[in-house]
Chain A
Amino acid sequence: GEDVEQSLFLSVREGDSSVINCTYTDSSSTYLYWYKQEPGAGLQLLTYIFSNMDMKQDQRLTVLLNKKDKHLSLRIADTQTGDSAIYFCAESRGAGANNLFFGTGTRLTVIP
């Protein structure tokens, strides 16, 4: 199908790790992205991974890419209350990777 899919909700306890999963559709996607959106705000780019990579780590964030299964995940280590937000994965499509297509978003709630 055309949709980029994510589970809608995730709750974790403060200090635990969070894993947010995403299934994308276009095997030719050049880049895959993770964005964070806080209430009433725009999107903040957290990290991205090039399609020829399997893993990327950036401080508390680890991105895993399984290109065969078209599966992307974002792991947040030592989750804090400030991490509570909606997380969107996005894939780039089209000539020149012009357009971003977003997943449905996962609302992460961190319980103190």
Chain B
Amino acid sequence: GAVVSQHPSWVICKSGTSVKIECRSLDFQATTMFWYRQFPKQSLMLMATSNEGSKATYEQGVEKDKFLINHASLTLSTLTVTSAHPEDSSFYICSARSRGNYEQYFGPGTRLTVT
């Protein structure tokens, strides 16, 4: 149980275009989802936290207009990187948590390369 999937696992896009990454909880209701970013050989940095049906809360320094997060259902959250630039190339990882549970379950990650 407690499986989180991400799609796509790997994407290449051209500079200036937008790309959407999906995060799904497959066997539980994710009342809270988290989006992280990981640069090569570095740690995970929390980008934003989203509660189902509410606007996401972004960490300091993360542009909310550039990284659009939608958490419209209890099993799906999406991260859209708008007007992507090469510096947005990174490994994006989501996690999900059910109500009243401290544990976060992580997705396998999405590697974004912007050319």
Most buried by B among A4, A40, A48: A40
A97 cross-chain contacts in B, Cβ below 8 A: 102
Closest chain-A Cβ to B91's Cβ sits at a distance in Å of: 8
Closest chain-B Cβ to A37's Cβ sits at a distance in Å of 9
Contact residues, A38-64 vs B (CB, 8 A): 40-45, 48
Cβ contact within 8 Å between A42 and B102: no
A residues less than 8 Å from B106 (CB atoms)? 35, 42-45
Check if A42 sits within 8 Å of B104, measured CB to CB: no
Q: Are A103 and B32 within 8 A (Cβ)?
A: no
Are the CB atoms of A98 and B32 closer together than 8 Å?
A: yes
The answer on a CB contact under 8 Å between A100 and B93 is no
- Label chain B's interface by main secondary structure: strand
In the complex, which of the residues A31, A41, A88, A101 has the most CB atoms of chain B within 10 Å of its own CB atom? Answer: A41
Within 8 A of A (CB), among B35-66: 42-46, 49
Chain A positions within 8 Å of B108 at CB level = 41-42
A30 sits at the interface (CB 8 A)? yes
Given contacts A30-B102, A31-B102, contact A101 B46 (CB under 8 A): yes
Q: Which residues of A contact B46 (CB under 8 A)?
A: 99-101
Cβ of A105: which chain B residues have Cβ within 8 Å of it? 42-43
Q: Let me know if B43 and A104 touch, CB within 8 A.
A: yes
Question: Which chain A residues border B34 with CB–CB below 8 Å?
Answer: 99-100
A105, B45: Cα distance in complex, Å: 12
Q: Which of B's residues lie within 8 Å of A, judged by CB?
A: 4, 6, 32, 34, 42-46, 49, 93, 95, 102-109, 111
Binding site for B on A (CB under 8 A): 4, 30-31, 35, 40-45, 48, 88, 92, 97-105
A-B pairs, 6 with minimum CB distance: A42-B108, A43-B106, A42-B106, A102-B43, A102-B44, A42-B109
